[in-house]
Amino acid sequence: MITIIVVHQIGCVLPKRTSTRTYQMTSFKLALLLLLVFARGFTVAAADGSPPNILYIFTDDQSYRTVSCYPRAYEFANTPNIDQLAKRGVRFDQAYMGAKCVPSRATMLTGRLQFAVESNYDGSDIEGNTYWFPTIRDKGYYTGMIGKWHYGKGAEAHQHGTAWDWSVVWDHGQYDAAGGYYYDQQVMINGAPQVPLGGYSTDRYTDFTEQFIRERATQPDKPWFYWLCYGGVHGPYTPADRHRGMLEDEPETEIPVDIWGPRPGKPSHFQDSKWKQGEDGKPYISGKPLDFWVKQQTEAVAAIDEGVGRIVKVLEETGQLDNTIIVFTSDQGYVWGHHGLKGKIDPYETAIRSPFIISCPKRFPVGKVCKAPINGTDVIRSFHTWAEAEPRLFMPGRDITPLVMNPDSEPVLKLWSKVPTMMTYVHNRYEPMEMAKRLQASDWASCMYGKNSPWYFMVLVQNYKYTRYAHPDRIEELYDLDNDPEELDNLAVKERFKDKLLEMRAACIQSIKDNGGSVFADSLPLPKSGFELGEPKTSSDITVYHATGKNRVHCEGCRRLSTDPEVLATMTKMTLAEAEAKGLPLCSRCPISLPKGK
């Protein structure tokens, strides 16, 4: 029996060149406490000493809100098979695998955050930054991969025979030659030239996965690692024919409170809305309402959920379920309307937080929830622990096994959460020296994604979340996620949080260094001060006027409100909060009600 009580695996694994005494001591205390906790004999190896199989299910653009076991899931979300994994395992509330398709897969292949991946975006330079899978192959693991490949392109990038023993690759990097997300895909089987996949891709990936599992059952003494990369539920969010329209009669999707704005206290690039207001007052994009898009994407989740059920069934039929650790997650989330956004990338929970569930009742607790934040580098580090393998290259993540074993232990959660968990997005850029070159040249235009959004570096420490932008004309963001889960109240513009802001700013810089960005961390521009914005006004601070007999109120500056003092004197003056309590809505033409551009 091999226990997992290994101090250097349980502590916070940091690059020696950048570790500070503070972070070393935090890691030491965490390791010491967890040694005491694990003295009770938890193991990852089975009772007979056999190493576990690892099944890594990795979906695309799937918000945690589409998984019905999450408290803030859509009312119509229904994922009984994924929920069953949570009942038979541990569900994580805060998981950050990446911020876009390619960077998140780069992290999965290397165990590093995007800025520390030392190869080009197109995968042309992978020397010195080989994928980590050969490490577990050397430990006796048989490795397999199926589905979306979006890091480099071509057989050289896939590394079949080096990283994989078995592979069915949909090489999305080849674009038109690869086919669509859901139909007409071309795949490379075990490194061979492309052939048609046939059928609906989610179902076909599940078919091949069943085949892999049955094949592996013929060699029960050889453990396996399998990475299942569903292309669903990426746009165009196409459900299987059997699921199309299944949610049409469900209650309408709730419209986010800040879809239109204004958004006082937020950076300038988050002041507009990507949504247009229709004649019915509802938000539209590409000619369809919010409710249509959310339901269509959620309908596409149904085939994934069915796939999970099929896979668990075949694991059980072949006698491999008890010895298989199942990890279910997505490359990031997907935001529909919150903060006026649509898509992924941006550093808000609705955009980048992934569902994350681990299930293996013979090894881990069941029916538990862990509230500690984790990221993609932590997951890859943990795979090494479970396979009893040591990383060969720099890999800064922390082993999450202590959290999985003790998901609701306050001492463990507290110590884990004192060490920053980082997520970042630096557009289509990789390599630390590339970051340094642009930042040191003050070439801010090259540090953007989209039209006006700078690179960002985000850290979570306990209940606080901080985001720093690579631009001198952007304010920082600081949120207390316990008290403001919607991230509406930016504490970075409030003087009374100045000490916390400075603390989180320092933690962010240190975390960049600890994750392999020492060469550019100190070159980030000083953020624009947000204190001059003052305390953003709440409804209790806004004065409105009500005319007797009318069913709405007006704020100062509204074109429908008279400026004649005599007329104003006849109206009732109150705060917007008082008006809301009386059921009096604000006029739609008031300046604080209008969407941008109206």
Residue-wise pLDDT for 452-486, tens only, equals: 899 999 999 999 999 999 999 999 999 999 999 99
The pLDDT of 367-372, averaged and rounded, is 97
Which of 170-174, 249-253, 322-326 has the lowest average pLDDT? Answer: 170-174
Claim to verify: residue 167 and residue 310 sit in the same structural domain: yes
pLDDT band at 44 (very low <50, low <70, confident <90, very high): low
Say if 21 falls within a structural domain. Answer: no
Cα gap 426→449, rounded to integer Å:
8
Instruction: Kindly report the CATH number assigned to the domain that includes residue 294.
Output: 3.40.720.10
Domain end, chosen from 518, 533, 548, is at 533
Q: Are 426 and 48 in contact (CB under 8 A)?
A: no
The pLDDT of 295-300, averaged and rounded, is 98
Q: What is the pLDDT of residue 27?
A: 45
Got the DSSP string for 451-480? TTEE-EEEEEETTEEEEEESSTT-B-EEEE
Which of 11-20, 175-184, 572-581 has the lowest average pLDDT? Answer: 11-20
Say if 17 falls within a structural domain. Answer: no
The pLDDT of 55-76, averaged and rounded, is 97
Which of 149-158, 499-508, 568-577 has the lowest average pLDDT? Answer: 149-158
Residue 417 sits at φ, ψ, to 5 deg, of -75, -10
Residues 6+ apart with CB under 8 A from 177: 171, 186, 194
The pLDDT of 545-572, averaged and rounded, is 85
Q: In the chain, what percentage of residues exceed pLDDT 90?
A: 70
Cα gap 199→424, rounded to integer Å:
36
Q: What is the pLDDT of residue 313?
A: 98
pLDDT digits (tens, 9 = 90+) for 492-527: 999 999 999 999 999 999 999 999 999 999 999 999
Which of 23-27, 265-269, 349-353, 572-576 has the lowest average pLDDT? Answer: 23-27
Claim to verify: residue 87 and residue 205 sit in the same structural domain: yes
Claim to verify: residue 312 and residue 428 sit in the same structural domain: no
Domain end, chosen from 488, 504, 533, is at 533
The pLDDT of 530-537, averaged and rounded, is 60
- pLDDT: is 328 or 532 the higher one? 328
| 290-317 helix and 201-216 helix, angle to the nearest 10 degrees | 20
Q: What is the pLDDT of residue 399?
A: 97
Q: What is the pLDDT of residue 589?
A: 72
Claim to verify: residue 351 and residue 467 sit in the same structural domain: no
Say if 272 falls within a structural domain. Answer: no
Q: What is the pLDDT of residue 121?
A: 43
Q: What is the pLDDT of residue 577?
A: 86
The pLDDT of 281-296, averaged and rounded, is 97
Asked if the model's pLDDT at residue 533 lies above 80, the reply is no
Claim to verify: residue 378 and residue 433 sit in the same structural domain: no
Say if 13 falls within a structural domain. Answer: no
- pLDDT: is 322 or 530 the higher one? 322
Q: How many domains does the chain have?
A: 3
Residue 585 belongs to domain spanning:
538-598
Neighbour order of strands in the sheet with 224-229: 194-196, 186-189, 166-171, 142-149, 224-229, 53-59, 324-330, 354-359, 89-96, 368-375
Claim to verify: residue 394 and residue 463 sit in the same structural domain: no
145-183 burial, b for 16+ CB within 10 Å, e for fewer?
bbbbbbbbbeeebbbbeebbbbbbbbbbbeeeebbebbe
Q: What is the pLDDT of residue 124?
A: 45
Asked if the model's pLDDT at residue 430 lies above 90, the reply is no
Asked if the model's pLDDT at residue 126 lies above 50, the reply is no
Claim to verify: residue 65 and residue 210 sit in the same structural domain: yes
The pLDDT of 329-339, averaged and rounded, is 96
Claim to verify: residue 343 and residue 488 sit in the same structural domain: no
Claim to verify: residue 209 and residue 331 sit in the same structural domain: yes
pLDDT band at 593 (very low <50, low <70, confident <90, very high): low
Average pLDDT of the chain to the nearest whole number: 87
The pLDDT of 543-559, averaged and rounded, is 86
Claim to verify: residue 356 and residue 436 sit in the same structural domain: no
Domain end, chosen from 533, 552, 585, is at 533
Say if 259 falls within a structural domain. Answer: no
Say if 242 falls within a structural domain. Answer: yes
Say if 314 falls within a structural domain. Answer: yes
Cα gap 544→580, rounded to integer Å:
11
Q: What is the pLDDT of residue 591?
A: 63
Say if 413 falls within a structural domain. Answer: yes
Cα gap 167→335, rounded to integer Å:
32
Asked if the model's pLDDT at residue 92 lies above 90, the reply is yes
H or E segment and range at residue 169: strand 166-171
Asked if the model's pLDDT at residue 596 lies above 70, the reply is no
Asked if the model's pLDDT at residue 75 lies above 90, the reply is yes
pLDDT digits (tens, 9 = 90+) for 9-35: 333 333 333 333 343 344 444 544 554
The pLDDT of 318-331, averaged and rounded, is 97
Claim to verify: residue 587 and residue 484 sit in the same structural domain: no
- Does the predicted TM-score (pTM) go above 0.75? yes
Claim to verify: residue 168 and residue 300 sit in the same structural domain: yes
The pLDDT of 141-157, averaged and rounded, is 85
Q: What is the pLDDT of residue 29?
A: 47
The pLDDT of 210-234, averaged and rounded, is 97
Q: What is the pLDDT of residue 42?
A: 45
Instruction: Kindly report the CATH number assigned to the domain that includes residue 465.
Output: 3.30.1120.10
- pLDDT: is 103 or 230 the higher one? 230
